[in-house]
Amino acid sequence: MKIRPDQLSQHLQEKLAPLYLISGDEPLQLMEAADQIRAKARELGYSERTVMDVDKDFDWNTLTEESNSLSLFAEQRILELRLPTGKPGKQGGAALVEYASRPAEDTVLMITAGKLDKTASNSKWYKSLDAIGVTLQSWPVDTYALPGWIEKRCVMKGLHPDKEAVRMLVERVEGNLLAAAQEIEKLSLLVDAGTLNAQQVTDAVADSSRFNIYDLSDAALSGDIARTSHIISGLQDEGIEAVLVLWALSRDIRTLLAAAENMQTSADSALAKAGVWSKRLPVMKKALSRHNQHSLKQLLSMCATTDRVIKGLERGKTWHELYKLCLFLAGYRIQAC
């Protein structure tokens, strides 16, 4: 049964399905949907949880073994299968079809997956899962709908933003819902409930001693290696999502590359055409003075590698890869190109 993300709460009030397949490329919606399902399952007594991460070395027999094994600690349990690519392959597809034909008793199987293409959505394994459980696909919020989404999210936290505050938040997060949610959560802790205006947003950001992903990006772009190292250590210690850090860095690198490829007149003109707003021109110009098209493409390649490490598709340490990316962006040991 297919449902939309906004229908999940109502569905869970009525029942808990034996299987959920949550897919898409919007991290916040995926995380919150999974959290809702876990919370409902715990409420109903599903106290044991087993997580299986699917990478290139994953043995699909593990799913069969886990589904057939008896729980030692609880009568009801949750099995979580994380499928970052959304492509289980031939063996994985067969294992999922087999599970759907004989779902484990007293068990909820929750599969979280990346964006599914048309082939996956029409596959036998997908249709088998949809037939016995719930399939939910998340989609990015369109640009025109983002202000409304942010306003609604603020109201949920007791804040009532005016139009200028909403506009400032929209510019700050540039369509990333996870970043938007974190900004609003921070504001709810720093600002009294009630009307929220642009000045309060600015003051809250200035008064917060906590580093954020924008501090990191600006430090790296400006070439301050010591500050870059300090901030990324702080972000790691604070438990900031690695995917958010990578999003902010890769966004700026893509913008720099677009400017470098269109450097027909001045850096200011090229950056403006690439969509850089005036307040960020100084740090972006510093980065553009250190990098050329070749080094920026190297940085994008590093972003792709880091993304695969985050998703478990390639061996490596996530924060180690982010450190390398940040320091290279800041100008550490850049080879002559």
Cα 28 from Cα 179, distance rounded (Å)? 9
Q: What confidence tens digit (pLDDT) does each residue in 243-254 have? A: 889 988 998 999
> Which of 61-75, 152-166, 286-300 bottoms out in mean pLDDT, i.e. has the lowest?
61-75
Residue indicated by tokens 């729980």: 71
Please report the pLDDT score of residue 148 as a whole number.
92
Whether the predicted model's global pTM rises above the 0.75 cut: no
Say what percent of the chain tops pLDDT 70.
94
Please report the pLDDT score of residue 235 as a whole number.
86
Q: Give residue 29's pLDDT band: very low, low, confident or very high (50, 70, 90).
A: confident
Helix (H), strand (E) counts: the chain? 17, 8
Mean pLDDT of the residues in the chain: 86
Please report the pLDDT score of residue 319 as a whole number.
94
Domains and CATH numbers, the chain: 2-138 (3.40.50.300), 143-207 (1.10.8.60), 213-330 (1.20.272.10)
Q: Which residue has the higher pLDDT, 185 or 136?
A: 136
**80: helix, strand or coil:** strand
Please report the pLDDT score of residue 181 as a whole number.
86
Q: What confidence tens digit (pLDDT) does each residue in 303-321 have? A: 999 999 998 888 899 999 9
Q: Is 276 exposed, middle or buried (0-12, 13-18, 19+ CB in 10 A)?
A: buried
> Which of 20-34, 67-81, 239-253 bottoms out in mean pLDDT, i.e. has the lowest?
67-81
Q: What confidence tens digit (pLDDT) does each residue in 75-109 have? A: 788 999 998 888 898 999 999 999 999 998 889 99
Please report the pLDDT score of residue 326 as a whole number.
94
Assess whether pLDDT exceeds 80 at residue 176.
no
Which helix (DSSP H) or strand (DSSP E) does residue 164 occupy?
helix 163-173
Q: Give residue 4's pLDDT band: very low, low, confident or very high (50, 70, 90).
A: confident
> Which of 20-29, 107-116, 183-192, 220-229 bottoms out in mean pLDDT, i.e. has the lowest?
183-192
Strands annotated E in the chain: 2-3, 19-24, 48-53, 77-83, 107-113, 134-138, 159-161, 194-196
| Contacts of residue 217, Cβ cutoff 8 Å, sequence gap at least 6 | 248, 249, 252
Q: Give residue 116's pLDDT band: very low, low, confident or very high (50, 70, 90).
A: confident
Please report the pLDDT score of residue 207 as a whole number.
46
Cα 292 from Cα 284, distance rounded (Å)? 13
Q: Report, as an integer, the average pLDDT of 51-78.
A: 81
Diameter over CA atoms, the chain? 69
Please report the pLDDT score of residue 71 as a whole number.
56
